[in-house]
Amino acid sequence: PDVIIEAQFDDNDAENGQDHLQDMLTDDIKKLSLDTGEKGKAVGVTGVHRTKQDDGPKVNDPRLLSDEFLQRTAKVVYILEKKHSRAATGFIKLLADRNSELFKRCAMFSPVDHRVPRVYVPLADCPPDFVTKPEAYAQMLFICRIVDWKEESNFASGQLFKSLGQAGEIEPESEGILTEYGVDFSDFSPEVLECLPQNLPWVISPGELAKRTDLR
């Protein structure tokens, strides 16, 4: 069929039972009868069967459908607030075109998260021996921050923030995820640590245990 009907009902429909749903589907099928009926008379011409198309209104015309069958669309007109941290975890590699001027100035940063665009980063931010031994950093994770993305460029521009370590290890991977989502994982300040019990080992008193839920 050219058109697929998707029935939508809420709790009230469920309470009314299957009769209400069946009536609703029957009405929808009647609406589609304009397009699913006989469209014309088949005429044989030199062994070829042709169908005369009906010039009347078609059900798949959006103007004839009710709002419940239409998917609303929109377009972005302004970015009010940038929520993404502009930081991404990924790998660096040399540009493919070794004869270009860009090859002498930039490297390509490929994010692990494919929702983030690839980024040009300055070679000055890369390790000193990256150009001569790029294979040594093929599995090294880096943090990059996007600083700009020109309209005429397919790639964003950014700066390498730091080297995390080998991909696949727990600590570099965890630090990369926390940095991407803007989570502060720095050490607690002395003021915060002073709020903790100083007499160790510390135990919860029986009175405190009586009014707590034990989730251990």
- Statement: the pTM of the whole predicted model exceeds 0.95: no
Q: Is residue 38 part of a domain?
A: no
What CATH number corresponds to the domain at position 131?
2.40.50.700
Report pLDDT for 60: 67
Report pLDDT for 200: 85
Tokens 């370590």 label which residue? Answer: 165
Return the higher-pLDDT residue of 147 and 65.
147
Which amino acid is present at 161? Answer: F
Report pLDDT for 147: 93
Q: Is residue 4 part of a domain?
A: no
Q: How many C-beta atoms lie closer than 10 Å to residue 146's C-beta?
A: 20
Residue 45 in this model has a pLDDT that exceeds 50: no
Domain span holding position 117: 86-181
Report pLDDT for 3: 55
What confidence category does residue 151 fall into, taking pLDDT thresholds of 50, 70 and 90?
A: confident
- CA 51 → CA 4, 23, 54, 63, distances in Å? 23, 33, 9, 25
pLDDT in tens, 63-102: 788 888 888 889 999 989 888 889 999 999 999 888 888 9
Question: Kind and range of the H or E element at 35?
Answer: helix 33-36
What confidence category does residue 175 fall into, taking pLDDT thresholds of 50, 70 and 90?
A: very high
Q: Is residue 191 part of a domain?
A: no
Per-residue tokens: 169: 């290890």
Report pLDDT for 20: 59
Residue 13 in this model has a pLDDT that exceeds 80: no
Q: Is residue 129 part of a domain?
A: yes
Q: CB within 8 A of 90, min separation 6: which ones?
A: 109, 110, 111, 112, 113, 116, 141, 142, 144
Residue 139 in this model has a pLDDT that exceeds 80: yes
Report pLDDT for 72: 85
Q: Is residue 214 part of a domain?
A: no
Q: Is residue 121 part of a domain?
A: yes
Report pLDDT for 199: 84
What confidence category does residue 135 fall into, taking pLDDT thresholds of 50, 70 and 90?
A: very high
Q: Is residue 171 part of a domain?
A: yes
What confidence category does residue 25 fall into, taking pLDDT thresholds of 50, 70 and 90?
A: low
Pairing of strands 42-45, 106-111: unpaired
Helix, strand or coil for residue 29? Answer: helix
Return the higher-pLDDT residue of 51 and 76.
76
Tokens 């600590």 label which residue? Answer: 171
Give 52-77 as a DSSP string.
PPP-S--TTSGGGS-GGGPPP-----
How many structural domains does the chain have?
A: 1
